[in-house]
Amino acid sequence: MEFEKERKHMVEYQLRARGIKDDRVLKAMESVQRHLFIDEDIWDRAYDDCALPIGEGQTISQPYMVAVMTELLELKGEETVLEIGTGSGYQGALLSLLASDIFSVERIKVLALRAAVTFKKLNIKNIHLVVGDGTLALSKEAVYDGIIVTAAAPRIPDTYINQLKVNGRLVIPVGNRFSQVLYQVKKTPSGFITNTSTPCVFVPLIGKYGWEKSET
Ligand code: SAH
């Protein structure tokens, strides 16, 4: 199998060695072919320890960051998950193995179309792709077990908090334009618990909950 050795190496040295423990996450990352989500010209870097360009000024996140975020969603298999920022579709493909239904929103149409082609090629059927601004609620009534925002925000948006089921988890990078920290917000029956995880650098979330021109 093409790149199988590289994926095993990535899982051992970039993920397990750095503390990723969730076996389902590790297994999914060993099986999803990251190279199929990037341009063939850069396949030789597909399993490198870094983010890579996917066109339109956007990136596929570093594998370690994808693993940390996915682990923080604490998925068991039956969940409905909302992803903001489909990008290449790589994160979505992982989620499709780890939860039951995925709604993934991307504002850049060409990226969404490319991701749709990749999902079709891989016979992934449980991702519902939406082209649009993911800072606006998809549907006012919809609530999710997990919400993952793969673009950086200046603060935790209320929309997402309001769309969590009880015991649901929101994972989002929050900070300034140039550096952020991963946040996990859990909705419990008695209120919200916020935990911070690793420092990170994401492309900005554009839209209602992005940065104002005057902010950095
Ligand atoms: N999860 C992706 C990485 C995404 S990069 C992957 O696995 O490849 C972040 C993406 O968020 C970009 O594609 C960007 O266009 C998208 N984005 C930024 N703001 C958005 C918004 N308001 N709604 C939907 N998508 C948004």
Is there an atom of ligand 1 within 6 Å of 82 CB? no
Taking CA atoms, 58 is separated from 61, 111, 122, 142, 202, in Å, by 9, 9, 22, 28, 9
Q: From edge to edge, which strands make up the β-sheet containing 191-200? A: 127-131, 101-106, 80-84, 144-149, 164-175, 180-188, 191-200
Q: Please count the CA atoms within 13 angstroms of the CA of 145 that sit on its side-chain side.
A: 16
The per-residue pLDDT for 214 is 65
The per-residue pLDDT for 1 is 60
Mutation to probe ligand 1, out of 88, 96, 150 (largest number of atoms < 8 A from CB): 150
Over residues 124-132, the mean pLDDT reads: 97
The per-residue pLDDT for 39 is 97
User: For the domain bounded by 64-215, which CATH number is listed?
Assistant: 3.40.50.150
Is there an atom of ligand 1 within 6 Å of 58 CB? yes
Residue-range domain boundaries for the chain: 64-215
The per-residue pLDDT for 99 is 98
The per-residue pLDDT for 216 is 61
The per-residue pLDDT for 86 is 98
Over residues 19-42, the mean pLDDT reads: 98
Is there an atom of ligand 1 within 6 Å of 104 CB? no
Is there an atom of ligand 1 within 6 Å of 96 CB? no
Q: CA-to-CA distance for 119 and 142, rounded, in angstroms?
A: 24
Q: CA-to-CA distance for 4 and 51, rounded, in angstroms?
A: 19
pLDDT tens-digit series, residues 149-201: 999 999 999 989 999 999 999 999 999 999 999 999 999 999 999 999 999 99
The per-residue pLDDT for 210 is 83
Residues with a catalytic annotation lie at: 61
The CB density around residue 121, as the number of other CB atoms within 10 Å, is 9
Cut 0.95: pTM above it: yes
